[in-house]
């Protein structure tokens, strides 16, 4: 009897491990404030509250203007995800837990203090406004901690955004330098990104050389924001979104530089790079990589794939393909 029970516990535990291993590489569940759970709660609340679904795009980018619908949306999300309670207020313990170890002990103290200060200025009966401004204070505090906890927010004074063509040139150089063999190039042109040491180092090379990444500081978010210029998204919102993704995909300290660049930086930034190249398709298509159907051997990596997103007639996989 006892044994039966304990073996079913073991089976359940193993199942849990398998489930979390299966979802871990995509890193979408780890943080309630940025993962799928959050987006799901947001979508449900929009429906539930009858908010115009056209606003979803804005909300998906964490852009929350202080209008009535948005305030009540935040309250709804907060109640669904248990970070807000009309009586107990904002759950600072949960916030700390979700962002640990990215934030230290002072985080919770400052957060609680700053939320109290903010709520004192509001109508105590207006729960939408209270939830909304508590959440905003929380976001500001998180940004500050993510910003000061790492140097990723510090813009390099010398950083000049590159053109899409300049980035392609760097990609070509890097592919040569890490000696990507023709077989890799062939798969890259089909949009298959093999997770192997050469490709990982190729990504690192391009990320570092574009001035968007360093081994020491990781993703340089301010530079990335200037480079990628995500439409309708300010630096704060971009940093919060990417900061949470980078945190979810944090690599163990033993990971080497190439693995880190690939599994953390590239995993998080790839969709934004895809959009950048799509927006710059006119000039991208002038690049020699896209003027030849088959690259000559030794000529590096055309990054290509056939998918719905591909305006390049199947010639842009590595950068343009989506997961």
Ligand X SMILES: *[C@@H]1O[C@H](CO)[C@@H](O)[C@H](O)[C@H]1NC(C)=O
Which span (15-23, 108-116, 179-187, 228-236) binds ligand X, by CB under 6 A? 108-116
Q: By CB under 6 A, what part of segment 3-62 binds ligand X?
A: none
* Neighbour-count burial of 278, counting CB atoms closer than 10 A to its CB (0-12 exposed, 13-18 middle, 19+ buried): middle
CB of 58 to ligand X, least distance (A): 26
C-beta of residue 316 within 8 angstroms of C-beta of residue 277: yes
Tell me which residue has tokens 């919102």. 237
User: Could you say whether residue 110 binds ligand X (CB under 6 A)?
Assistant: yes
CA dihedral 284, 290, 291, 293 (to 10 degrees): -170
- 61 φ/ψ angles, rounded to the nearest 5 degrees: -90, 15
The DSSP secondary-structure symbol of 163 reads P
**Nearest alpha carbon to residue 283 among 196, 201, 165, 175:** 165
3-state secondary structure of 219: strand
Determine the interface stretch with ligand X among 111-119, 127-135, 192-200, 298-306 (rule: CB under 6 A): 111-119
Our CB check for ligand X shows the closer of 97 and 148 to be 148
Name the residue nearer to ligand X (CB basis): 162 or 235. 235
Mask of contacts with ligand X, 144-183, x by CB under 6 A?
A: x---------------------------------------
73 with 136: CB under 8 angstroms?
no
Q: Which is nearer to ligand X, 25 or 113 (CB)?
A: 113
| Residue 141 binding ligand X, by CB under 6 A | yes
Shortest Å distance, C-beta 35 to ligand X: 24
Phi, psi of 102 (to 5 degrees): -70, -30
Per-residue DSSP letters for 116-156? HHHHTTS-TT-HHHHHHHHHHHHHHHHHHHHHHHSSTTPPP
Considering the complex, what minimum distance in angstroms separates the CB of residue 103 from ligand X?
A: 11
* Span interacting with ligand X, options 43-51, 94-102, 110-118, 124-132, rule CB under 6 A: 110-118
Sign of CA dihedral 39, 40, 43, 45: negative
Q: Please, which residue, 141 or 247, has the CB nearer to ligand X? A: 141
Closest CB to ligand X among residues 113, 197? 113
Structure-block tokens of residue 293:
């159907």
Cβ within 8 Å of residue 266, ≥6 positions away: 203, 207
Could you say whether residue 251 binds ligand X (CB under 6 A)?
A: no
- For ligand X, the binding residue among 43, 114, 250, 280 (CB under 6 A) is 114
Shortest distance in whole angstroms from residue 144 CB to ligand X: 5
Q: Which stretch binds ligand X (CB under 6 A): 58-66, 77-85, 107-115, 254-262?
A: 107-115
C-beta closer to ligand X: residue 36 or 109: 109
Interface size with ligand X, residues (CB under 6 A): 6
* CA-based nearest residue to 270, from 302, 224, 216: 224
Closest to ligand X by CB, 111 vs 258, is 111
**Candidate list 11, 13, 18, 117; residue touching ligand X; CB under 6 A:** 117
Q: Which residues bind ligand X (CB under 6 A)?
A: 110, 113-114, 117, 141, 144
């Amino acid at each position: 009897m006892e044994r039966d029970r304990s073996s079913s516990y073991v089976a359940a535990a193993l199942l849990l491990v398998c489930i979390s291993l299966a979802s871990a590489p995509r890193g979408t569940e780890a943080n309630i404030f940025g993962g799928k759970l959050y987006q799901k709660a947001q979508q449900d609340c929009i429906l539930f509250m009858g908010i115009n679904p056209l606003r979803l795009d804005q909300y998906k980018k964490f852009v929350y203007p202080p209008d009535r619908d948005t305030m009540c949306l935040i309250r709804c999300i907060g109640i669904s995800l248990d970070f807000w309670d009309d009586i107990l207020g904002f759950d600072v313990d949960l916030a700390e837990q979700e962002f640990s170890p990215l934030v230290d002990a002072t985080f919770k103290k400052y957060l609680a203090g700053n939320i109290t200060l903010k709520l004192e200025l509001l109508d105590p009966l207006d729960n939408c406004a209270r939830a909304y401004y508590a959440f905003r204070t929380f976001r500001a505090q998180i940004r500050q901690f993510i910003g000061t906890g790492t140097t990723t927010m510090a813009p390099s004074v010398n950083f000049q955004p590159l053109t899409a063509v300049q980035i392609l040139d760097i990609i070509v150089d890097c592919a040569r330098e890490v000696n990507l063999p023709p077989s890799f190039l062939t798969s890259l042109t089909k949009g298959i990104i093999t997770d192997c040491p050469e490709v990982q180092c190729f990504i690192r090379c391009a990320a570092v050389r574009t001035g968007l990444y360093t081994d020491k500081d990781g993703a340089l978010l301010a530079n990335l924001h200037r480079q990628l210029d995500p439409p309708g998204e300010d630096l704060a919102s971009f940093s919060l979104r990417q900061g949470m993704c980078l945190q979810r995909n944090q690599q163990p300290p033993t990971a080497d530089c190439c693995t880190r660049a690939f599994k953390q930086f590239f995993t998080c930034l790839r969709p934004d790079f895809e959009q950048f190249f799509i927006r710059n398709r006119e000039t991208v298509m002038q690049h020699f990589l896209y003027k030849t159907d088959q690259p000559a051997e030794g000529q590096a990596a055309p990054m290509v794939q056939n998918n719905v997103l591909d305006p390049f007639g199947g010639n842009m996989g590595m950068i343009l393909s989506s997961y």
